[in-house]
A and B are shown apart, each in its own frame.
Chain A
């Protein structure tokens, strides 16, 4: 018969204001964007919200706009749209590149950038892009708008700074036009989540961020600092796993993940143009 979610009430929100209203009036509600993290969890009954508030039709949260020094990406922009966006490819090429590596074409057709970030999975790809580029999350609640730096956004395993009655509306990526970048995603099958991944953003404020190297998506702080102070690729790569507490699973133990983090950091640095 198959796996089906527990029962829930379904509501649709046509605007951010309406979604906030519904969030405030329903106990134990969850927002539904692309559903490509939430629906699998609900099918396994790991999550059973009483109400789903479908925000996927909110037009104001879709698409990419050039806002001067930053690109503003609406939270509901699907991976496929980000991957193909000319303006993203031009100004934040790391983001366009990594969006194209999320899951498979079917997943990218449905999943959204906001859902991926709020889900807060340490094994997900896009959080590392937000961290490496120094993006800012724009969050709206009944008290108005808050802006949260990516480095303060990922709080714990599958937990972010977005409160239960708040909505992530947009992500602002500082433009990195013409700057080098690298992304290394180590997988056994191409559609899988990364066993380890490393994102490198070159330029004036360089950043290195890690995928699946602990309970939260995180920046490689020591390595990022070394890079900013002009250290060579080998020295930077050697610091990649500093301060991490990588998970152990059937794909890799912690030592192997630390080793991968170094090797992949070096590759990503070389791809970004560092020597």
Chain B
């Protein structure tokens, strides 16, 4: 048997408005590219099996589970992580502030993914009702809060500025 050569490929992703270009193996997952190449550790790995949503980021402004996307699949695209949302001057986005005001987190493990899923929801539907909020978060699991406060956090954000803006 011949030994397997390691081929690498160049992946260039615009992460939070900054171009990140690295040689990686094609099997590199986007979540690892973000954490290890782009050095942005806000995006979490929870289940690693596409279920929990802790790894949720925006690819071209659409929510995706970055543990289930190869970095090469994001090549040439725009990715937004939790580090990329905010009020533009170092403060919180309305969604982040909503999580603070309404205690939308306890341990915080699910929070980066929740913030991104909620941001995508509000960008698309600025005035979701409770049912729509719960449906939109069906791919994000939280072991701590019981979701009530997360729903309230989204409602808070909806009435205090909405999705916010990002690069």
The answer to whether residues A105 and B63 also contact, given A2-B32, A110-B69 and a CB cut-off of 8 A, is yes
- Is A67 interfacial (CB 8 A cutoff)? no
A-B contact pairs, 15 of them (CB 8 A): A3-B48, A4-B27, A4-B28, A4-B29, A5-B27, A7-B6, A8-B27, A9-B7, A10-B26, A39-B69, A40-B68, A54-B72, A105-B138, A107-B139, A110-B64
- Is A267 interfacial (CB 8 A cutoff)? no
The answer to whether residues A35 and B27 also contact, given A105-B63, A109-B63 and a CB cut-off of 8 A, is no
CB-based contact A107/B65 at 8 Å: yes
CB-based contact B69/A104 at 8 Å: no
- Is A46 interfacial (CB 8 A cutoff)? no
The answer to whether residues A7 and B25 also contact, given A105-B120, A107-B65, A109-B62 and a CB cut-off of 8 A, is yes
Chain B residues 99-123 with CB under 8 Å of chain A are 117, 120-121
The answer to whether residues A39 and B135 also contact, given A52-B26, A105-B117 and a CB cut-off of 8 A, is no
Interface residues in chain B, defined as those with a beta carbon under 8 Å from any beta carbon in chain A: 4, 6-7, 9, 25-29, 32, 45, 48-51, 53, 56, 59, 62-65, 67-70, 72-73, 117, 120-121, 135-136, 138-140
Partner of B138, one of A35, A36, A104, A110: A104
Residue of A nearest to B45 (CB): A2
Chain A hits for B56, CB < 8 A: 106
- Report the bound CA distance from A9 to B25 in whole Å: 9
CB-based contact A10/B138 at 8 Å: no
CB-based contact A106/B63 at 8 Å: yes
Residue of A nearest to B6 (CB): A7
Partner of A190, one of B25, B121, B135: B135
The answer to whether residues A103 and B4 also contact, given A8-B26, A110-B68 and a CB cut-off of 8 A, is no
- Report the bound CA distance from A36 to B65 in whole Å: 10
Chain B hits for A39, CB < 8 A: 29, 68-70
CB-based contact A190/B138 at 8 Å: yes
CB-based contact A104/B53 at 8 Å: yes
CB-based contact B73/A106 at 8 Å: no
- Report the bound CA distance from A106 to B139 in whole Å: 7
CB-based contact B139/A104 at 8 Å: yes
- Report the bound CA distance from A104 to B121 in whole Å: 12
Chain B hits for A104, CB < 8 A: 53, 138-140
- Is A158 interfacial (CB 8 A cutoff)? no
- Report the bound CA distance from A103 to B26 in whole Å: 26
Chain A hits for B64, CB < 8 A: 106, 109-110
Chain B hits for A262, CB < 8 A: none
How far apart are B80's CB and chain A's nearest CB, in angstroms? Answer: 13
How far apart are A112's CB and chain B's nearest CB, in angstroms? Answer: 13
- Report the bound CA distance from A119 to B28 in whole Å: 23
CB-based contact B68/A36 at 8 Å: yes
Chain B hits for A146, CB < 8 A: none
Chain A hits for B48, CB < 8 A: 2-3, 43
- The 4 A-B residue pairs whose C-beta atoms are closest, nearest first, are A104-B139, A10-B26, A190-B138, A109-B62
- Report the bound CA distance from A43 to B121 in whole Å: 28
